[in-house]
Structure 1
Amino acid sequence: MNQVSSAHPSAPHALWEQTRPREHASYPADWIGKARELAGIFSEGTVDRDHDGTRPLEQIRLLRESGLVNLLYPAPLGGGGGTLHDAAHAVLEIAKTDGSTAALLGFHFYNSLVPLLTDYEDRNAEIVRRATGARWLWGNVTQYVNRAFVAQHHPDGGFVLSGTKRWNTGAPLAEITTVLAIHPDQDRYLYATIPTSREGLHFHDDWAPIGLRGTDSSTITFENVRIFPDEVLYWSHGPAQTGPLPLWASFGAIFYSAVYVGRTLGALDLARNWTLQGKRQGTFPGSDLSADDPFIQAEFAEYWIEAQAALAYLDSTITRVQQAWDARASLTEEDRGRIALDTLALRTFTSRTALHVTPRIFEFAGGRGTGFAADFDRFWRDVRTLSSHDPEVLARRTIGRHVLHDIPLVFPPHFKR
């Protein structure tokens, strides 16, 4: 099954068609091993793709064919039945070699969970079954800050949307996307899923950052875009959604962190390889290789230890979030706030580690590492681009306030009751 929807009209959208699977491989027994295998394939040409800003269409196709896109979905709904650890480490392995594809997979994972996050009782199961059957890659049109993005009722049922949304990560490359808009009554949110081939969607192709150049977070304009009744997600957390989606940001922090740690480890792998291939200018006398220079050894150890600390922090946090997800039906508002604070701290630590380590790999290569063809800076540029989504100082202020005063993190409603 490769059709987005046979019930609703759509217009052609060429990009996702180029990622359509040619086959559906059986789910792997080892999800992380499969991701490591794909990372090796993706490493070929990664420098050229970074230089050219090439969209990773072939890489997305292979992710879909492998079944990795279905990893987090439950087996009874056609998914792979994998764990959060499997998904995060799959992103991490790919991030070692290909930052853009890893980021797209990470964004896919937590946005593809939206039908399960809005309802814990499988009332959105049909959309998940369609997703697993076609092995969709998910994009997102989700930003909460766009207060002008208000839906209108359609006379034939459902809603219609007009307006512009920026920073829609993966949506131009995905077959399906989540859409968050304000309900016509303007007292709650409306969450839906629509195909990116839907008539009235206009992709601006304006994504041109310094890093993650293949992720495509282009601006999208909606021009009388239909949302049909069966595309509106069922909401079971009270009478209406008036604030952030429970656990969504926490899952996002896990996958952001997986990209940060993966890019850090990938940068160190590259630096290690260079130190084993020759000597940089100023190598310690008597050392035949840069890797034998005691000063380089001490410097490399410092960054390696930092990366190991970030990796351990990621894994311990994943364990707690998985436990919370398994008990999601019984979580209190205070429980969710504790998880949010926990994952915000993780995201802050891993981004800071990545921003500290990735630019310092130039120390190991010397002047050779500054060559355009070496592309040593791609790791830092990717991390800098992703980390700019949420300034660290704001995260630290939130963490510090709640830790100092020992008060729970509570998300206030976005609408006046």
Structure 2
Amino acid sequence: MNAINTLSPVTAARNALVAATRPQIAEVYPEDWVARARELAAEFQVDAIDRDHEGKRPVNQIRRLRESGLVSLLYPKALGGGGGTLQDAANSVLEIAKVDGSTAALLGFHFYNSLVPLLADYTDKNADFVKRSTQLRWLWGNVTQYVNKDFVAQHHPEGGFTISGIKKWNTGAPLAEITTVLAIHPDRDRYIYSVIPTNREGLTFHDDWNPIGLRGADSGTIEFDNVRIQPEEVLHWSHGPGQTGPLPLWASFGAIFYSAVFIGRTLGALERVRDYTLSGRRQGTFAGAVVSADDPFIQAEFGQYWVEAQAARAYFETTIQTVQAAWERRRELTDDERSKIAIETLSLRTFASRTALEITPRIFELAGGRGTAWAADFDQYWRDARTLSSHDPEVLARRVIGQHTLHGTSLVFPTHFKNEN
């Protein structure tokens, strides 16, 4: 394997955990990103069940993602990136999600949050952030959450800002070198988006991520105590006077990567239970069947699940093409076009979530009693899908989709700030 052993030095890590994710080599970017992701997935599969049982963070897996260059896939070649497509990135997440939900979720969140500098400005004024990221192969965390109205920055007398407060659900930030930070501007009429290292003084990472699924996808609480934001760490915003709502296309990119995890977990469950039914005969198997896979009832049940999963996969691929095309002409998109993309990607995420939640618990119908053994860990697929889907309740998504498709109205994200004048 070709490798470059000349990684640039970086500042001291926040702690040994982050230091352990740093690349020891830098592989040349692969010609086939999805094939490389599939190779990494085979590596990750070796101890995936043990890590799930123990709730261990995927430290070595993050290091391998950084070494492979996969973390820089979506960045343009002109800025040092891999020049890959959204299809490359989304299918890379899907392949890893087949065997390792936590690592896949961290990579998916990394992809659409590492795009924040490019989403906030279409004129390359944030290019330096991208160049540094590709040079050092950063994993990006995120401290976003638009709903926190108490997370307000203050002006610093020497320029920039300071921030104090608490942010929950910060996916990837505890394992990342760098993280986006969204806060309300001191004037309380817009947001500021910044990018800071996770070893910044005043940051406290609370080890409180302990859900039923995605147990290694650290999304713990972060406490800010007078954290300094330097002027050059504030992202340039080019979409009007100030950011008053979500980033353009940010939610649509997010929906693609959520869906990649949902579909990957579903396909992974089916592939694994297929191997399981081919390797033995469960109790209650149809008379004359040598292995469970010969049972006509199991064949029919598996066939139904497989068809449903393929439908989700096809929807996924079609929607990716729509978003990729929109990204390529992002400077020309109208509000109506962005609205249609938002509805389409929200619909995909809803369908992928529903498919995962329907199929992953039903694989026990195929595995039988032996499949419920702790060591088998067949429940990991449902637990991961259930945890991720709970972040954005499906019923709310369906209501939004129904409202706008019934009335033919545009889906417009309103300003988060009221004009008091």
TM-score per shorter chain, which class? over 0.9
In 2, Cα distance between equivalents of 1:2 and 1:313: 41
CA contact (8 A) 1:11 1:199 kept: no
Alignment match of 2:84 (pick from 77, 82, 93): 82
Aligned to 1:17: 19
Equivalence for 1:400: 402
CA contact (8 A) 2:69 2:137 kept: yes
* Cα distance in structure 2, aligned partners of 1:103 and 1:117: 20
Q: Deviations over 1:244-287 (max 9, x none)?
A: 11100000000000000000000001110110011111100011
Provide the residue aligned with 2:353 in structure 1. 351
> Structure 1: which 5+ runs fail to align?
none
In structure 2, the residue matched to 1:50 is 52
Quote how far apart the aligned CAs of 1:26 are. Answer: 0.1
Correspondence for 1:68: 70
Rounded Cα–Cα distance in structure 1 between residues aligned with 2:245 and 2:378: 41
1:262 pairs, out of 248, 253, 264, with 264
| Pair 1:340 & 2:345 matched | no
2:10 and 2:303 map into 1 onto residues whose CA distance is 49
2:168 counterpart of 1:166: yes
* Separation in 2, partners of 1:89, 1:247: 19
Verify the 8 A CA contact 2:13 2:177 in the aligned structure 1. no
1:198-217 alignment, distance < 5 Å = 198-217=200-219
User: For 1:387 and 1:48, how far apart are their aligned partners in 2?
Assistant: 23
2:239 aligns with 237
Q: State the match for 2:250 in structure 1.
A: 248
For the residues of structure 2 that align with 1:368 and 1:56, how far apart are their CA atoms?
28
> How far off its partner does 1:12 sit?
3.2
Are the structure 2 counterparts of residues 223 and 209 from structure 1 closer, same or farther at C-alpha, using a change threshold of 3 Å? same
* Equivalent residue, structure 2, for 1:412: 414
1:262 counterpart SS class:
helix
Q: Aligned AA for 1:181?
A: A
Residue by residue over 1:303-334, the C-alpha shift from the partner in whole angstroms, topping out at 9 and shown as x without a partner, is 00000000000000000000000000001111
Q: Quick one: distance in 2 between partners of 1:12 and 1:360?
A: 42
Matching residue within 139, 143, 146 for 1:144: 146
Shift of the alpha carbon at 1:411? Answer: 1.1
Counterpart amino acid of residue 107 in structure 2 = L
Q: Which residue of 2 aligns with 1:389?
A: 391
Aligned length: 413
The residue that corresponds to 2:186 in the other structure is 184
Q: Aligned partner of 1:351: which letter?
A: S
SS of residue paired to 2:251 = helix
Partner of 2:127: 125
In 2: Cα distance, 1:2 partner to 1:412 partner: 43
CA distance in 1, matches of 2:366, 2:340: 40
* Aligned equivalent of 1:91: 93
**What is residue 3 of structure 2 aligned with on the other side?**
none
SS at match of 2:151: coil
1: CA distance, partners of 2:216 / 2:413:
33
Inter-partner Cα distance in structure 2 for 1:16 and 1:405: 49
The alignment partner of 1:93 has SS state of helix
Percent identical pairs in the alignment equals 71
1:225 aligns with 227
Deviation at 1:13, TM superposition (A): 2.7
Alignment partners' CA distance in 1, 2:114 and 2:25 = 21
Change (3 A) 1:224 1:164: same
> Which letter maps to 1:197?
N
Separation in 1, partners of 2:298, 2:418: 58
CA contact (8 A) 1:108 1:138 kept: yes
| Cα RMSD for the two superposed structures | 0.9
AA matched with 2:21: T
**Aligned position for 2:379:** 377
Residue 293 of structure 1 pairs with residue 274 of structure 2: no
Q: Aligned partners of 2:334 and 2:93: how far apart in 1?
A: 29
CA distance in 1, matches of 2:14, 2:117: 25
Whole-Å separation in 1 of the counterparts to 2:204 and 2:284: 54
The Cα of 1:4 is off from its aligned counterpart by 5.4
1:100 maps to which residue? Answer: 102
What does the per-residue CA deviation read over 1:342-370, in whole Å, with 9 as the maximum and x for residues that have no partner? Answer: 10000000000000000011111111001
Change beyond 3 A, Cα 1:217–1:311 = same
CA contact (8 A) 1:32 1:86 kept: yes
Q: Map of 1:305-316 to 2, 5 A cutoff?
A: 305-316=307-318
CA contact (8 A) 1:141 1:180 kept: yes
Amino acid at match of 2:200: R
2:41 counterpart (39, 42, 50): 39
- Whichever residue aligns with residue 376 of structure 2, its letter is A
**AA partner of residue 245 (structure 1):** L
Determine which of 367, 382, 386 is the counterpart of 1:365: 367
Partner SS, residue 17 of structure 2: helix
Q: How far off its partner does 1:11 sit?
A: 7.4
Query: 1 CA distance for matches of 2:282 and 2:124?
Result: 59
Q: Secondary structure at the match of 1:309?
A: helix
| Distance (Å, rounded) in 2 between the aligned partners of 1:2 and 1:310 | 42
SS of the equivalent of 2:26 reads: coil
CA distance in structure 2 between the partners assigned to 1:332 and 1:18 by the alignment:
44
Aligned equivalents of 2:224, 2:367: Cα separation in 1: 48
Q: Which runs of 4+ in 1 moved over 2 A?
A: 1-5, 10-14
TM-score (norm 1): 0.98
Q: Residue 76 of structure 1 aligns to which amino acid in structure 2?
A: A
Among 26, 29, 38, the residue aligned to 1:27? 29
Residue 2 of structure 1: how far off its partner (Å): 4.8
